[in-house]
Amino acid sequence: MKAMNAASARPAAATCPQCGAALVRHQTDGFCSRCLAETSLLDDEFDGPAEDALNRLLPATLTDRPTRPRLGDFEILEELARGGMGVVFKARQTSLNRTVALKMMLFGGWGGAEATQRFRTEAAAAAALEHPHIVRVLHLGEHDGQPFIAMQYVAGRSLADALRDRPLPAGDAAQCVATIARAIEFAHGRGILHRDLKPSNILLDPDGTPHVTDFGLAKFVSSETTLTGSCQTLGSPNYAPPEQATHGADVDARSDVYGLGAILYHALTGRPPFHGQSPADVLVQVRERPPVPPCQLDPGLPRDLETICLKCLEKEPAKRYPTAQALADDLDRFLNHEPIHARPVTRLERTIRWCRRKPALATAYGLLLLLLLLLLIASPIAAYRINEARHQAAREADTARAMLAFLRDDLLSVADPFAGNTERPRGRNLTLLAAVDLAARNVRQRFPDQPLVEAGLRVTLWQVYFALGDLDQAEEHIHRAAELYDGTPDAPELQRLKAIESMAWMHHARGRYAEASALIEPVLERRTRLQGADHPEVLSAQRCRLAILSSSGRHPEAMALGEDLLDRARQLPVEHTEVLLRIWAMLLGTITGRGSSPGATTFRKKRFRSPKSGWAPNTRGRSN
């Protein structure tokens, strides 16, 4: 029977008048929890069916308009504002004859234990704060089961109402938020976090001075007194920090700094940092997306003020101002035209944050950027190499033409093959030597500005004199060629090495084996790095080392080197047969110089047989 009486005492409405959802125990007759949450989260005004709910739930004295309603000692004068969970009236306290703001729960005793606790938390928090910019609580009372709070009356309007007309000037916005920040720092110093800072909770008196109100979501840091069971404890997601918007309990002074930054953003741009079609959409933006920089919405805003605002709105609490006082101090520096302490977010940091939010897209863009970078790097290198090859080919062609002209005009034109005694081969050699001498004297005069051409001709003259047995003239020309290559910055490296190799052959021919070895070793090392150990030109240059070892009596080393060179030369393509033949001929000379020793006999049996390719070495073509 008691249960039936309790059931009959409840209002008749069993569904939400806005969405039609069934109401459960502890829910009001007006709306379900979802509709109440969306209303309180997205809009500070409460209209529509809530008007009827308020009229039903308020005591009869409040709806009796012919006479002024009363709540005990308080006489209701007019309604000032209402939100998702409460309504504020202007009232007169008759006993003290003073004007106060009277705040009541929107649904009275039907609001539930959680709403009642939030109401009392607000009263306890505000009553503990005596600050000129925090609305004071004067009295907490109850009338016919209806709790109410009597607060200091602030004539004027809220900051949200002021911002509906237009944004504040930059200086006014900075001054307003700096004043609010100092008031919040005062609250933090007494262990109270506001957790619901937004323009509608800032009241402006007729002079424009701000006052902080509505501590309904306040948290006492020194205790566990807080409301965390409902989505209403989030406050407005448009202004809530990410750690609070995700129902997290790890909130501290930096969470209120975020709210102060959101108020500054709204005051500068006329809109909150985030807004969307639904609470879920707003919460996604709060957690994952950076706010649009204020200067993009208003290019005339000072950059320093934008930097301060965006520092407050950092996703990570550690990157915000550590205290509200630090924020107020930086705003004061801005107002005094002093350097601020906040550092603007660099493009690199902004890019890193974007990559963390969208790793897949960042990876795709990164690969594309890497490909473009490779193209940008490779294209100039390829163009440079092609251009160098073109210039090198042109230089070689010019050198070849100059050398042919020299040979035609200065050598062959003065050579008389029929001079002297034609029956004696030596007579022709002497005539050719004389012609070469005459041409050699004209080399320097013919090419004074073409050192590479002169160097190439000197190498040719060295070969001629070396073959004719005039070692003095041969040495003079090869030394001059080496000097020209060393003194020309763009001289081809391989030609310079070839000249040094020729000098080593020159020292070998004169019996200076130590000097020859000192020259050929670095040449072989450099050629090996440039061309590889098995390159035909490298194997051909190794013949000089083989000749030095053999001529200086170091036969075991010469035999070992000869065997190695012969094995590698056998692997060369058939067009490089001449290299194999030259190595074979020189190794044969080494063996012949040693006599018929057992080792030499064994080597001959082991090595001197026809190659697998079917051709036999022609020792008659042997040369240095």
Element (H, E) at 419: none
Query: How does 31-59 read in b/e, with b if 16+ C-beta sit within 10 Å?
Result: bbbebbbbbbbbebebeeebeebbeebbb
Question: Is 246 in a helix, a strand, or coil?
Answer: coil
Whether residues 212 and 320 fall in one domain: yes
Please count the residues of the chain: 624
Within-domain flag for 510: no
Domain end call among 134, 151, 168: 151
Closest to 147 measured CA to CA, from 111, 190, 93: 111
Q: Are residues 93 and 205 in the same domain?
A: no
* Residue 90 φ/ψ region, left for φ over 0, alpha for ψ in the -120 to 50 degree band, beta for the rest: beta
Dihedral-angle region of residue 365 (phi above 0 means left; psi in -120 to 50 means alpha; beta otherwise) = alpha
Neighbours of 351 (CB within 10 A): 12
Q: Bridge-partner residues for 146, per DSSP?
A: 143
Which residue, among 488, 480, 499, has the nearest Cα to 541 in the 3D structure?
499
Rounded CA-CA distance 196/184 in Å is 11
DSSP state, 110? Answer: G
Are 161 and 90 part of one and the same domain?
no
How far, in Å, CA of 135 to CA of 128, rounded?
11
DSSP string across 329-348: HHHHHHHTT---S--PPPHH
* Separation of alpha carbons 305 and 168, rounded Å: 13
Domain boundary among 132, 151, 170: 151
Q: Is 65 domain-assigned?
A: yes
pTM for the full predicted model: 0.51
d(CA 186, CA 188): 5
Q: Tell me: do 168 and 269 sit in the same domain.
A: yes
Of 529, 451, 518, the residue nearest 494 (C-alpha): 529
Strand 86-93 relative to strand 98-105, pairing:
antiparallel
Is 493 inside a domain boundary? no
DSSP 8-class letter at 137: E
Angle between helices 253-269 and 324-335 (to 10 degrees): 30
Q: Are residues 56 and 181 in the same domain?
A: no
Distance of CA 398 to the CA centre of its chain: 51
- Domain residues for the domain of 254 are 157-357
Q: What is the pLDDT of residue 99?
A: 93
pLDDT at 442: 67
Q: Please indicate, yes or no, whether residues 227 and 323 belong to a single structural domain of this protein.
A: yes
CATH number at residue 134: 3.30.200.20
**Do 179 and 257 lie in a common domain?**
yes
Helices (H), 488-610: 493-509, 513-531, 536-551, 555-569, 577-594, 598-607
Question: CA 475 to CA 511: how far, in whole Å?
Answer: 13
Say whether both 615 and 577 belong to one domain.
yes
Are 80 and 209 part of one and the same domain?
no
Amino acid at 104: M
Q: Say how far apart CA 197 and CA 251 lie, in whole Å.
A: 13
Report yes or no on 431 lying in a domain: no
Domain annotation covers residue 137: yes
Select from 459, 466, 464 the least CA-distant residue to 482: 459
Contact 258, 233 (CB under 8 A): no
Residues 193 and 104 placed together within one structural domain of the fold: no
The closest alpha carbon to 37, from 11, 57, 18, 13, belongs to: 18
Report whether 126 contacts 137 (CB < 8 A): yes
Query: Hey, CA dihedral for 296, 301, 303, 306, is it positive or negative?
Result: negative
Which CATH number characterizes residue 329's domain?
1.10.510.10
CA 509 – CA 321 distance, rounded (Å) = 85
Assigned domain for 492 exists = no
Looking at the structure, do residues 258 and 284 belong to the same domain, yes or no? yes
Tokens (6 digits) for 113: 């234990």
Neighbour-count burial of 173, counting CB atoms closer than 10 A to its CB (0-12 exposed, 13-18 middle, 19+ buried): buried
Structure tokens at 146: 């209806």
Q: Are residues 195 and 307 in the same domain?
A: yes
Rounded CA-CA distance 325/618 in Å is 99
Q: What's the total number of domains in the chain?
A: 3
> Consecutive 10-residue runs of the chain (624 residues): their mean pLDDT?
39 53 49 50 41 46 58 87 80 91 71 68 79 89 82 90 92 96 93 90 92 81 47 68 74 92 95 87 88 92 92 92 95 90 71 74 84 82 76 65 58 48 44 65 69 79 80 84 82 84 88 89 89 87 88 86 86 83 81 46 37 35 35
The C-alpha atoms of residue 528 and residue 538 are separated, in whole angstroms, by: 7
Distance CA 243, CA 318 (A): 12
**Cβ atoms of 404 and 396 closer than 8 Å:** no
Q: What pLDDT sits at residue 288?
A: 85
- Tell me, yes or no, whether 466 lies in a domain: no
Burial 101-133 (b: 16+ CB within 10 A, else e): bbbbbbbbebbbeebebbbebbbbbbbbbebeb
Which of 357, 379, 397 terminates a domain? The answer is 357
Burial code (b: 16+ CB inside 10 Å, e: under 16) for 496-507 equals bbbbbbbbbbbb
Does residue 23 belong to any structural domain of this protein?
no
Q: Which residue has the tokens 């070895």?
A: 517
